[in-house]
Structure 1
Amino acid sequence: MPKLRDAYGNSKSSGYTIDFFELTAPGAKSALLASPFFSTYDPIERLTRRGCEVKLIVRLCSVTTPAVIAKALADPLVTLRYFTSREFHAKLYIVDDQALVGSANLTAAGLMSNREISIVVRKDRDAAFDELPGLFELYWEKAGAMSGEILAAYQTAFRHIGNPREEAEFEQRLTKLVGKVDPPSAMAGSEVMSRRRSFLEQLRRKYDEQVIPAFQEVRDIMSESGLRRAEFAGGDIEIELNRFLGWTRLLHAPGDVWKESALADRAGRRERTLSYLRNWVEVGDTKAGDMYYAEEEFGNIARLRDGLSSIQAIQSMDYDQIFDTLCGCHAFYDMLRFVSGGLPGLKADFGRRNTLSEIQDTLIYLIHGGGLMLERAYDCIFDEKWKLGRFGENCVMELVGWMTPNRPPVNGRTLKALRFIGHDIAQ
Structure 2
Amino acid sequence: MLKDRMIITNRPTKNLKNEIEKLAKQSDQIDIATAFFTESDLIKQWSENQIQVNLLVSLRPPTSFYSLKKIQSSSKVEISFLGDEFHSKFIIFYKEGFIIGAIIGSSNFTFGGLEKNIETNIYSDEKKILKGLEKHFSDLIKSSNLLQPTDLDNYEFLYKNWLKRQKKQNAELKRFKTKITANRTKRNKKPRITKIAKQYFVYWGIVDEIRELIKDIAEKEHPNIPSYLILDHFWHFIKVVWHKKSGKILTEKNQKQIIPKLFKDYIKWHREFKEDNYPNYMANLSKDVYKFNLSRKNIDKLTESQARQVFAGLHSSNMRIQRFNADDSFIAENGMPRIRKSLKYLIHSNDEMDLKIHNLIKNPEYKLKRLGTSGVQELNGWTKPEKYPIRNDKADDAIRILGYKLN
TM-score (norm 1): 0.48
TM-score (norm 2): 0.50
Higher radius of gyration, 1 or 2: 2
